[in-house]
Chain A
Amino acid sequence: MNNFLTMDGLSKADVTSLLDLSDEFVEVLGRSIPKVPALRGRTVAMLFFEPSTRTRMSFERAAKALSADTMSFSPGTSSLSKGESLKDTALTIKAMGANALVVRHKSTGAPWRIAEWTGLPVLNGGDGAHQHPTQALLDSLTIRQHFGTLDGLKVAIVGDIRHSRVARSDITAFSTLGAEVTLVAPRTLLPVDMEAWPVATADSIDEVLDSDVIYLLRIQKERGGASVLPSLPEYVSRFGLTWDRFTRMPEDSVVMHPGPMNRGVEIAPEVADHERSLVEPQVANGVAVRMAVLFRLLGGEVTDA
């Protein structure tokens, strides 16, 4: 593995092996000293050209738990605001000695460009509305921990799918692992052409309350998600996971959300805090899967001390 850019093209065995490795790091993170020396002396640079708190901190935590050094970068105060090109920024950070780059960018494909320019291993931390592959891994790991497998599970993804890189990565990962995926959104929040997608669709959340997993997505105001809806209350009436709807779900079903949540919009506050909400395990697993990917990309070259 040279880069980790997309869920597309990964086989069930590829994904399963990454999840198995992630399980080992879950164990590491549970130790009294949750740290291994696997990547000592390696430097991982965080290039987040879009604001991010959780993903960036999760990657930093993952790198440090592997004993790697980290460097980071804030777009607001960087030389990009002085007119430097993305390419020069990436090459500059390479010249400082980074061994791998974690890239988040508003433009689809930016992490691919940076991988070409630098020749360094690149981890896609989210590009546009395209891919967010470590999120798909952590979601898959969370579901697997809870149910033991994804094979045959009914997973409904509800919300702003059109503007969601999480949805695009999750759909591929979940269906690769054998789940049946149904997308639920008003047509203005669905991709325009899903003919080749391994999914079913439904017009309201009431149609999918029998799912094993309901995966809720935030309306992405920053990507134009709100302007395609008449109003948020109308959205909630047809697509919000209210307490009433939650009580009609099977007892062993779960609710997931990639965060940040808009409580009272896509998810009722009492659902978000319920024990069948896996939001916190998702966040915890994020660190483990990112350790797994970093280890895969950089681990082979390290001689352990």
Chain B
Amino acid sequence: MLEIVLKGGNIVGPKGTSKADVLVRDGVVSKIGPDLEGERVIECSGAWIGPGLVDPHAHLREPGQEWKEDIETGSRAAAAGGFTAVVAMPNTDPAIDAGHLARYVAERGSDVGLVDVMPAGAITLGRAGSHLSHLDELWAAGVRLFSDDGDSVADAGLLRLAMEYLSDLGGIVAQHAEDTTLTLGAHMHEGAVSARLGMRGMPALAEESILRRDLALVELTGVRYHAQHVSTVGGVRLIEEAKTKGLPVTAEATPHHLAFDHREIRRMDPAYKMYPPLRSTEDVEALRAALKSGVIDVVGTDHAPHAAAEKDVPFDDAPRGVIGLETAAAAVNDTVKLDPVLFFQRLSIASARLLGLDRHGCWPEAGSPANLVVFDPDAEWTPLRFASRSENSPFKGRAMKGRVMATIHNGVVSYEAS
């Protein structure tokens, strides 16, 4: 295997950064020290060298919607964004609700080989919300996180069963919290902007009412629970209360909810359409603070590719979702001023621990697995083209600060900025 030297970067560890070279050989960090040499040298001055990023929430669209993305293009996008492991959401066609489907996704991921692709499993059969999916099979196929993402599991009785079943196995119930009886026909946040535009709004309450119910069920069942894309002040407060009670709960925020509020929709550009929708400035502030404090544990991209023609329609008619893998690190760096230790905690380590990934989320040190990212927090760039098959990014054409310079996946360079 090729020897790689990461030259002159700031190596991030649990206590801060230190300047040294990193030698990568045979899939591990073999040496850290001054003046190291190797066959391939990557210049890293000014950049952080930390554990490769881990995304608990991406839509890679395969099988079934390959015109939007597939596991190969999604893996390229992940590598370009500094990720070494990605959880693929199960709202594919068919939904990942049985063992053979999960194995297919994982195998496609390892065939491509740019990033570890971990399939998430559907909680209910076909994500239809009426019957448990093949939870044992999914577990045996390596699935650790279960979600009907895109939809909430609305039926409390069924969710309770899933929670009881998965708490035996050790699985994580991840919920897209949206009470659809409150969001019918709505496409954006309910507030001043929706009122001006005459568009039906999705109230913050739609998220909070589901979270409130779910957290009571977590208390009853003891299952590990992960709140996906928390977007509201009230959602943050509920997570904080649950953690204070000692419930086994984690929460995620997306880069776009950290970066933008609903005023972006004044221009009615479908590039800003996603669920949950962009919220108020108060919500954005609460998310940023919660990511700093740790009430929000992790950043999840909710990378959701859609073809250009699908998005090139009026706002109401556009599919929901934005891509995020390639801009996540920059967006978080730009909008939430995290020190390098916290940055990697939130974007890598906490997700790796959540998902039980031993080979990811490890501080770079001699002997640690070589899943690494080189991220320059001061580099300025403007995303214009994407490795993803789709370009539905709200960050497209916006100047950003912080850039992934290189990604090392299992000791191999999976991405290097040109």
Which of A's residues lie within 8 Å of B, judged by CB? 85-87, 105-110, 112-113, 117, 128-131, 162-165, 168, 191-197, 224
Contact = CB atoms under 8 A, between A and B. Distances in A.
Interface string B175-194: 00000000001000011101
A86 B196 contact: no
Contacts of A85: 309, 312-313
Given A85-B309, A112-B268, A224-B185, A191 B195 contact: yes
B198 interface: yes
Given A192-B195, A196-B196, 5 more contacts: A85-B313, A113-B268, A130-B199, A192-B201, A194-B195
B314 A107 contact: yes
Nearest to B315: A109
A86 B195 contact: no
A197 B274 CA distance: 27
A129 B315 contact: no
A196 to B, nearest CB: 6
B197 interface: yes
B309 A86 contact: no
Contacts of A107: 314-317
A192 B198 contact: no
Interface string B288-322: 00000000000000000000010011111100000
A165 B314 contact: no
B198 A108 contact: yes
Contacts of A113: 268, 312-314
A218 to B, nearest CB: 15
Q: Which 9 A-B pairs have the closest CB atoms?
A: A109-B268, A129-B198, A107-B314, A191-B195, A107-B316, A130-B198, A110-B314, A193-B195, A193-B192
A290 B351 CA distance: 59
B192 A86 contact: no
B314 A109 contact: yes
A201 to B, nearest CB: 13
Nearest to A87: B312
Contacts of B268: 108-109, 112-113
Contacts of A224: 185
A138 B192 CA distance: 27
A165 B313 CA distance: 20
B315 A168 contact: no
Residues of A contacting B: mostly:
loop
Contacts of B316: 106-109, 128
A192 B313 contact: no
A3 B80 CA distance: 41
Interface in B233-282: 267-268
Interface string B312-345: 1111110000000000000000000000000000
Nearest to B309: A85
A181 B268 CA distance: 27
Contact of A168 (B192, B198, B309): B198
B411 to A, nearest CB: 46
Contacts of B203: 192
Contact of A130 (B185, B197, B267, B309): B197
Nearest to A190: B195
Contacts of A131: 198
A131 B199 CA distance: 11
A105, A108, A117, A165 interface centre (most CB from chain B within 10 Å): A108
Contacts of B267: 112
Contact of A196 (B192, B312, B313, B314): B192
Contacts of A87: 309, 312-313
Given A193-B190, A193-B192, A108 B313 contact: no
Contacts of B197: 108-109, 128, 130
Contacts of A130: 197-199
15 contacts: A85-B312, A86-B317, A108-B198, A109-B314, A109-B315, A109-B316, A128-B197, A128-B199, A129-B198, A162-B198, A163-B198, A168-B198, A191-B195, A193-B194, A195-B192
A163 B195 CA distance: 10
A86 B309 CA distance: 10
A110 to B, nearest CB: 4
B191 A86 contact: no
B191 A165 contact: no
Given A113-B314, A128-B198, A128-B199, A192 B185 contact: no
A130 B268 CA distance: 11
Contacts of A86: 313-314, 317
A192 B317 contact: no
Contacts of B198: 108, 128-131, 162-165, 168, 191
B196, B201, B267, B313 interface centre (most CB from chain A within 10 Å): B196
Contacts of B312: 85, 87, 113, 117
Contact of A192 (B191, B309, B314, B315): B191
A106 B309 CA distance: 19
A112 B312 CA distance: 12
B106 to A, nearest CB: 36
Nearest to B199: A108
Contacts of B196: 168, 191, 196
Interface string B30-69: 0000000000000000000000000000000000000000
B218 to A, nearest CB: 31
A129 B194 contact: no
B194 to A, nearest CB: 7
B210 to A, nearest CB: 20
A108 B314 contact: yes
Contacts of A193: 190-192, 194-195
A129 B196 CA distance: 9
A82 to B, nearest CB: 16
A107 B269 CA distance: 12
A110 B317 CA distance: 10
Contact of B314 (A105, A164, A195): A105
A196 B191 CA distance: 11
A192 B199 contact: no
Contacts of B201: 192
Contacts of B191: 192-193
A129 B313 CA distance: 17
Contacts of B185: 224
Contact of B194 (A106, A163, A192, A195): A192
A87 B310 CA distance: 11
B277 to A, nearest CB: 14
B192 A108 contact: no
A85 B196 CA distance: 27
Nearest to B312: A87
